[in-house]
Amino acid sequence: MPSLKDDFNELIRRIRYGRELGHASFEPIYYLIFDPKQILEVKRQLPAWIAKLRNDGWDVTIFSIAENIISILQNAPLRKLWMTADKQAPLAWARTNQSLANAVTNGSLESRLIAQLEQLEGRNNAILLVTDLEALHPYMRIGSIETKLQGKFNVPTVFLYPGERTGKTRLKFLGFYPEDGNYRSVHVGG
């Protein structure tokens, strides 16, 4: 079984050579798939991977899903209302999660990713690493974001995906969500 290092090296090799003509889309979207038990190991390896990419001439940008979700929730117009409601009913987890999900799934996360991609457009050797996908749980899955952003990926974009590969294009987010085959990307690992 290949290691994370082997899978990362394979991913970079594929990015260098570009997409195969048989894919439904020619957008440079790649997934590095790893077992959810390896989330911490991926976080430990990330600085070394970034250094390797930079040494190979890549202009690396990181888009952290977790950091962007935190920013969205901290700056949400309803934040004060949420805090008041939480004090009144601190164990109303379903209602709390639904309010937070509404703030995350209203398009604000997608618009932040689009803005990042637009900033990178035209930059030589730009590559975007999208990290912390596990922060999407329980709000949404990255496949829905990828679908909404079709046509917007102008630089190689790598999603560090905790989950299972169940076929050439089918993935199970975090290993327990139902498998989803709506990805238009190259998958390595898993």
Write out the DSSP string of 76-142.
-TTHHHHHHHHHH-TT-HHHHHHHHHHHHTTTHHHHHHHHHHHHHTT-TTEEEEEE-GGGGTTT--H
What structural domains and CATH numbers belong to the chain?
4-72+108-189 (3.40.50)
pTM of the model: 0.84
The yes-or-no verdict on residue 28 having pLDDT over 80 is yes
What angle do the packed helices 65-74 and 108-120 form, to 10 degrees?
130
Q: Give the separation between CA 109 and CA 123, rounded to whole angstroms.
A: 23
| pLDDT tier for residue 76 given thresholds of 50, 70 and 90 | confident
DSSP state, 12? H
